[in-house]
Amino acid sequence: MPNALPPQGSHPRRTARPYDDLEAEFAKFTDPRIAPVLRGLQESEAALALLWAYGKGSWEESAAAAGLEPAVGEQVRRKLKRLGARYTQRSSAARAFTAGHRPVRATPRELV
């Protein structure tokens, strides 16, 4: 799996901005699973998750840097784990459903 973090030198903007602007930050990640999971967060939670991803500190330190209570950092960490597990479960179920319900293609002999 390639490095999921954006290239070095990229830093998230301040947390006081519209949620739509966070989409540009989500798009910088190379792992396609990250953006759908981050979209499940509220704006302040997504900004906190980005601060943690770019930073070197703990969830509590990132929460404090975002102007939130340190306990919120742990809550966001747990929420991200739940959202990630749900995303994995749903994408696996979708792949299994699609694989079992592919349309049958006619072979050249059947067309004649």
Residue 12 lies in a domain: no
Residue 9 lies in a domain: no
Q: Whose structure tokens read 């694989």?
A: 99
Domain that includes residue 53, residue range: 49-99
Residue 91 lies in a domain: yes
Domain tally, the chain: 1
Q: Provide the whole-model pTM.
A: 0.65
Confirm if 93 and 87 have CB atoms less than 8 A apart.
Answer: no
Q: How confident is the model at residue 15 (pLDDT cuts 50, 70, 90)?
A: very low
Residue 64 lies in a domain: yes
Residue 58 lies in a domain: yes
40-97 pLDDT, tens digit per residue, is 999 899 989 999 988 889 999 999 998 999 999 999 999 999 999 999 998 888 888 8
**Which of 21-30, 48-57, 103-112 shows the lowest mean pLDDT across its residues?**
103-112
Sequential DSSP letters for the chain: ----SPPTT-----SSS-HHHHHHHHHT-SSTTHHHHHTTS-HHHHHHHHHHHHSSS-HHHHHHHTTS-HHHHHHHHHHHHHHHHHHHHHHHHHHHHHHHTPPPPPPHHHH-
Residue 14 lies in a domain: no
